[in-house]
Structure 1
Amino acid sequence: MKKIGFILILTFVSLGVFAQEVLTLKECYNLLETNYPLVKQHQLLENQNQIDNSIITNSKLPQISLDAQATYQSEVMEFPVAMSSITPLNKDQYRATVSINQLIFNGGATTANLKVKTAELKTKKKSIETNIYQLKMQINQLYFSILLTQETFKLLEVKKNQLKTKLKEVKSGIKHGVLLPASDSVLEAELLKINQQFIEVENRKLSLIETLFSFIGQPFDSDVKLEIPLITTRLDTEITRPELDLFQLKKEEITAQEAFVSKQNSVKLNGFFTGGYGNPGLNMLDNSFHSFYTVGVKLHWNVFDWNTNKKQQQSLAIHKDVIENETEVFKLNTTIALNKQQKEIEKVSAFINSDQEIIRLRKKVLKTLDAQLKNGVITSSVYITEFTNLFEAENILLQHKIQAQLAKENYNIIKGQ
């Protein structure tokens, strides 16, 4: 029985530890990159690329075709009277053939096409990585919003405990006739308001957690605790975003396409074999069923294509210039965003300094009012007003601290750090 009890206690303790699991911002990023539905496209693209490569590689294999035909002609070739001993051709003719074509040389077009597919795969996979990276801004917003509710909850706890302590003092003052009988009602009403604030903060926190966990692919856990990250930010404009890698891969893809296009008019050499059975065979003068075959090589060279190949090259060159322009625009917009975010960091930092001074002054005032309330000089309403002012100042400081952390992390994400 004792052993069963010990196991139950251990189970509850383990559940309690699990319920208090701590989640970090870095873990959220890692889970996003692992579990977000878009990640599944990586494997899909790999599978598609393997199929495309197989199709292209098959062009190097022998191409086998089967043909069969039966025809009836209204006229056939007639022979002069001097050759009347030759049996005239039948008007009905039959033929079945098997043809084998083998690519011998195509100027490296197959290899170039494979390189195009490889470049396309890299571009598509980097595009997925870029799209997921851009979601980190939303992860930041959710993470720090949850963090704010988490810290606000702690602040409310402190405020509630302080009011409970003050309520005991007031009740004692009423009991000894120092304070008016209704002085405790104001404090009790304020405690009820705090309970409402608890409910409001908790509901907002649960909603945010549910949204965050949807992004990172985790089962909902209302008891999760978020770690306050230690964020370091270098305020410079050196950009290392994955979008820059994407632009580079797009240009490399175009370079591969240019190489492929340049080989499309190359000399192509094929070997072929055709074997068949028909009436007539290759000897048109023999009017009977025979087997036959032909074997040889075929050379093809598209000497003139009305500058189609050249125009394709020009179009690809323009596309490369467009990507270069997109890169410049992206760098400009990112630099503007970084400057804006830096101003936000500086502004919030200035607010924090002011908040701390405001709180210091409000605490000084509240300390004076606390003594006056004990002696019955002021009413509970006056005390609660200043107490609420102090709480609001502390709450604003908390918001600004979280806002500063968010601004710094957003700066890092915008920069690509």
Structure 2
Amino acid sequence: MKKTSFYFVLLITSGLFAQDHLSLTQCYQLVDKSYPLVKQKELLETQNKIDSEIITNKSLPQLSIEAQATYQSEVTEVPIPGSGIESLNKDQYRTTATLSQLIYNGGFIDASLEAKSIALKVQQKQVEVNIYQLKKQINQLYFSILLLQEKKYLLNAKKEQLLSRIKEVKSGIEYGTILPASDKVLEAELIKIKQQFTDIEFNKISLFESLSSLIGQDLETTSVLENPEFNLNIENTISRPELELFQLKRDEIDANQQIISKQMVPKLSGFATGGYGNPGLNMLDNAFKSFYTVGVKLNWNVFDWNSNKKERESLLINKDIINNEVEIFNLNINIELRQQEFEMKKIESFITSDYEIIELRKQILQTAESQLKNGVITSSAYITQLTNLFEDETNLKTHNIQLLLVKANYNITKGL
């Protein structure tokens, strides 16, 4: 474990992954750190910052400029002879600049910022959920490589045993106690073992490439995967990131309800308008004049045909939908956990019987070795017994790895 920890520290500090050992925990940590989807969290945060600035800017002074030129078919006239008041021009011009400042909005902007903040958490948690779901894929790849690793160890043992038998058989042929060509049968089996080694190596290359892509690190096929140890606690509660996501979605609905409630609050703003035109504010003065106005404005949407109320009712239905999704999620997770618990019990029973079978196979093979030395049985008969033992040992390794895989998936399913 100390060596593994050292290599992991080396990975973090140097950014390299030229290590001899790799653990399942490290794979989880690397996918959390290096999978391309992780970049979305930073992008979402940047986007949220921009959106929040847009909302905040609504509380800052707003400046608008307007210019217009019109021609009217009629203008206001004073029907008093000799009054000296000229008629207005039918062509009129006006340019204005208005500065407005929001004074009171009932907390609408604060509510909008809070909703935007929760929306960011929802989006980022969704990214975490998507990455978390990759961990079962990592489990499948990791334990597939681990199984090939174990098979390679068994093949090496079988190879060494064959080499030892070949020497004995050759010696027996030389002294005439064993039939000629008996060694050729064993040598042919040795060639088959080389083919199996080749098959393992090609499969490892494919699996390592897939695992490397997921965790974002180049792995050598010579890397040794460690056998993880699991302490399962069936009584532990489910702690999946999806549950946190559901809660954040509820919080988002509550925040949106606050925004809707603030929409009906009166809004007060101040304004100042300056302009230049013909006519100015004095409609009877037929000349270009500058002018200004200042004041306050109250805007209160008193009646909206119950649209506000209906929007809030719609949000409450969304919350009920989320609660229903939580119920379905928990149901499916519990079903999956129960299936995995049964699978673990089944594999454990297989492992118990595997040990019994292997012990019997070893006794049979021991007898076969003695018979082969004395020329009682042929090399083919010996290979049959050797292969039977190898297959049963492979079954044991396969069941052990399958058990580890189910335990790893069980932990991921539970969120431990």
* Structure 1 length-normalised TM: 0.94
Correspondence for 1:127: 126
- What's 2:6 paired with? none
What is the deviation of 1:71? 1.4
Shift of 1:279: 0.8
2:103, 2:268 within 8 Å by CA — same for their partners in 1? yes
Q: How many residue pairs are counted as aligned between the two chains?
A: 400
State the partner residue of 1:339: 338
- C-alpha displacement of 1:213: 0.5
**Can you list the C-alpha shifts for 1:83-119, whole angstroms capped at 9, x where unaligned?**
5311221111111100111111111111000111011
Letter in structure 2 aligned against 1:403: Q
Matched letter for residue 343 of structure 2? E
| Residue of structure 1 in register with 2:296 after alignment | 297
Query: Is the CA contact 1:19–1:223 (under 8 Å) kept in the aligned structure 2?
Result: no
Percent identity, please.
Answer: 60
In the superposition, the TM-score normalised over structure 2's length comes to 0.95
Q: How does 1:226-241 map to 2 (within 5 A)?
A: 226-236=225-235, 238-241=237-240
Return the alpha-carbon distance in structure 1 between the equivalents of residues 323 and 42 of structure 2.
Answer: 29
Q: Which residue of 2 aligns with 1:215?
A: 214
Q: Which residue of 2 aligns with 1:96?
A: 95
Q: Does 1:58 align with 2:57?
A: yes
Cα distance in 1, alignment partners of residues 184 and 244 from structure 2? 65
The answer (yes or no) to whether the contact 2:59–2:102 under 8 Å persists in 1 is yes
The residue aligned with 2:9 is none
8 A Cα contact 1:149 1:201, kept in partner: yes
Partner of 1:263: 262
Amino acid at match of 1:95: R
Q: 1:142-221 maps to which residues of 2 (within 5 A)?
A: 142-221=141-220
Q: Shift in Å at residue 224 of structure 1?
A: 1.5
Matches of 1:42 and 1:235 in 2, distance apart? 33
Q: Which residue of 2 aligns with 1:408?
A: 407
Q: Once the two structures are superposed, what CA deviation does each residue of 1:1-52 show, in whole Å capped at 9, x if it has no partner?
A: xxxxxxxxxxxxxxxxx86521110000000000111100001100110011
CA distance in 1, matches of 2:35, 2:274: 57
State the match for 1:6 in structure 2: none
Question: Could you tell me how far apart the structure 2 residues matched to 1:111 and 1:187 are?
Answer: 82
Give how far 1:237 is off.
5.8
1:39 aligns with 2:38: yes
**Counterpart of 2:48?**
49
Partner Cα separation in structure 2 for residue 78 and residue 198 of structure 1 = 107
Measured in 2, the distance between the counterparts of 1:19 and 1:116 equals: 45
Residue 407 of structure 2 aligns to a residue in which SS?
A: helix
Q: Displacement, 1:70? A: 1.2
CA distance in 2: counterparts of 1:131 and 1:414, whole angstroms = 14
Q: Secondary structure at 1:84's aligned position in 2?
A: coil
Tell me how far apart the structure 1 counterparts of residues 231 and 302 of structure 2 sit (CA, whole Å).
Answer: 63
Q: Aligned in 2, Cα 1:83/1:269: closer, same or farther, shift over 3 Å?
A: farther
CA contact (8 A) 2:18 2:219 kept: no
**Mapped pair 1:318 → 2:310:** no
Structure 1: runs of 5+ lacking an equivalent: 1-17
CA gap 1:364/1:48 in 2 versus in 1, 3 angstroms: same
**Does 214-223 or 345-354 show the bigger shift?**
214-223
Quote the residue 1:30 is aligned against.
29
For 1:240, give the aligned amino acid: S
* 8 A Cα contact 1:28 1:216, kept in partner: yes
Alignment deviations for residues 64-88 of structure 1 (CA, whole Å, 9 cap, x no partner) = 0111111121221122233531122
The 5 Å alignment of 1:72-111 reads 72-111=71-110
- Rate the CA distance shift 1:91–1:391 in 2: closer, same or farther, 3 A: same
Letter in 1 for 2:320: D
Match of 2:395 in 1: 396
Give the CA RMSD over aligned residues: 1.0
Q: Secondary structure at the match of 2:309?
A: helix
